[in-house]
Amino acid sequence: MIHSLFIINGSGEVFMEKHWKTVVSKSICDYFFEAQKKSANPEDVSPVIATPHHYLINICRNNLYFVAVLTNESAPLFVIEFLHRIMDVFEDYFTTCTETTLKDNYVIVYELLDEMLDSGLPLVTETNTLKELIKPPNLLRKVANLVTGDSTNVSDALTSSQLSNIPWRRLGVKYANNEAYFDLIEEIDAIIDRNGTTIMGEIQGYIDCCVKLSGMPDLTLTFVNPRLLDDVSLHPCIRLKKWESEKSLSFIPPDGNFRLISYHIGSQNSISIPIYVKHNIQYREGSAGRFELTVGPKQTMGKSLEAVAIECAMPKSVLNCTLTPSQGKCTFDPVKKVLTWDIGKIETNNQNSTRLPTIRGNITLAAGQPIPEGNPTLNVRFTINQVALSGIRVQRVDMHGESYKPFKGVKYITTVKNGRFQIRT
């Protein structure tokens, strides 16, 4: 399937490459660079690029491009998912997947790629199995390797998880403190028209887990509103029949961090919008204009809005913005014509309009230019802790198979991270 893999940094340098069959020249990446130049944003590069003799399939994360080279037709989504899996493994091993961390752990990176693919086909992708085969880096092991001159980290013995019917969990796990944490995170996508009506509202949710339990525990998660979970993607550890019959998650968890389930809630469901923005943007004759925004919470279930920020792409005829915010700070980039207002935290008890965050001031337009026809779109970011807008909540977390009583915690987060929240003015 995958013939070669090239890892490219944000400046266009191929700083790492791996070949599973014959060596493919770096010049094949020129097709990718051409597609990159035609795209305004890194995420807009076409994920599949066809060349006369190869196919290039790429992903972009953390300002790094992973470009896989294929000689035969394959399912593109399968390759894209596998590339994301490679980055997930790197992040699990090195905490962050950046150019610096990959260069600092050059040997382990190539050892992982050798184990994860065999002749270009996926072989071992479970982190727990890989950690038995290849020990994660630490300071003590680096010092020992320097003293002994041994640079390999690969185990000579076959791992227990490879012989088990539960390959995602290694045997003999022991912890002094047994604990399991579940983060239910929902990312909201929404488009609001100038009258405050929701045109589109969707939620992409997932449950991230950090499980540190001894032995072989068997967990069960039950939900308050499981009927809301739609278009789900389940971790292989989940028992599918129990999910289909009872809508509960029954599983023997992997050890450490993993994503248990992803789900999507479409616009056909009613989604509460937790923030509103009152706007008044006017352009006047004589190279001037007026700009005013007021931001406030609504339907936040008593929780505060945190990390609130608004980004506004102004028309090209705008030269400068002289604005005064009542809270936070405001910056304007005259080259990119982007106005950014970092508000911070908005308390729910600030319902008095005189205490709500407000920004107002004047806009300077280029002389002799026509008045812009349309008003800009506001891109809003925020986070609400301990709230899941969809109404999904974890009812119980039960454990079987072990005698000890672990600490169990569930956290809810609603955010606009990888999504978009646009307000048209």
Q: What does pLDDT average to in each consecutive run of 10 residues of the chain (425 residues)?
A: 93 93 92 89 87 94 94 92 94 91 92 91 87 77 55 57 74 92 95 90 94 95 88 93 94 93 85 90 82 89 91 89 93 92 86 78 86 87 92 94 94 85 90
> Residue 168: inside a domain, yes or no?
no
Do residue 210 and residue 334 come from a single domain? no
**Secondary structure of residue 16 in the 3-state scheme:** strand
Do residue 391 and residue 264 come from a single domain? yes
Do residue 220 and residue 284 come from a single domain? no
Do residue 377 and residue 407 come from a single domain? no
Do residue 82 and residue 223 come from a single domain? no
Q: How many domains does the chain have?
A: 3
Do residue 250 and residue 282 come from a single domain? no
> Residue 167: inside a domain, yes or no?
no
Residue range of the domain that includes 194: 179-271+387-424
Say what the pLDDT of residue 230 is.
80
Q: Which of 102, 126, 148 is the last residue of a domain?
A: 148
> Residue 377: inside a domain, yes or no?
yes
> Residue 23: inside a domain, yes or no?
yes
Do residue 138 and residue 250 come from a single domain? no
Do residue 190 and residue 265 come from a single domain? yes
Do residue 418 and residue 357 come from a single domain? no
User: Which CATH number goes with the domain that contains 341?
Assistant: 2.60.40.1170
Do residue 200 and residue 282 come from a single domain? no
Do residue 67 and residue 126 come from a single domain? yes
Q: Are 275 and 305 in contact (CB under 8 A)?
A: yes
> Residue 313: inside a domain, yes or no?
yes
> Residue 159: inside a domain, yes or no?
no
User: Which CATH number goes with the domain that contains 89?
Assistant: 3.30.450.60
Percentages of the chain per state (helix, strand, coil), in multiples of 5: 20, 40, 40
Per-position DSSP letters for 308-364, written without gaps between them: EEEEEE--TTEEEEEEEESSSEEEEETTTTEEEEEEEEE-TT--STTTS-EEEEEEE
Say what the pLDDT of residue 213 is.
96
Do residue 248 and residue 129 come from a single domain? no
Say what the pLDDT of residue 172 is.
84
Bridge partners of residue 183, in order along the sequence:
208, 411
Say what the pLDDT of residue 267 is.
78
> Residue 158: inside a domain, yes or no?
no
**Geometric angle at alpha carbon 253, from 248 and 255, rounded to 5°:** 155
> Residue 74: inside a domain, yes or no?
yes
Sole residue written with tokens 């106005």: 339
**Geometric angle at alpha carbon 161, from 160 and 164, rounded to 5°:** 95
The pTM of this model reads 0.80
Say what the pLDDT of residue 370 is.
81
Q: What is the CA radius of gyration of the chain?
A: 25
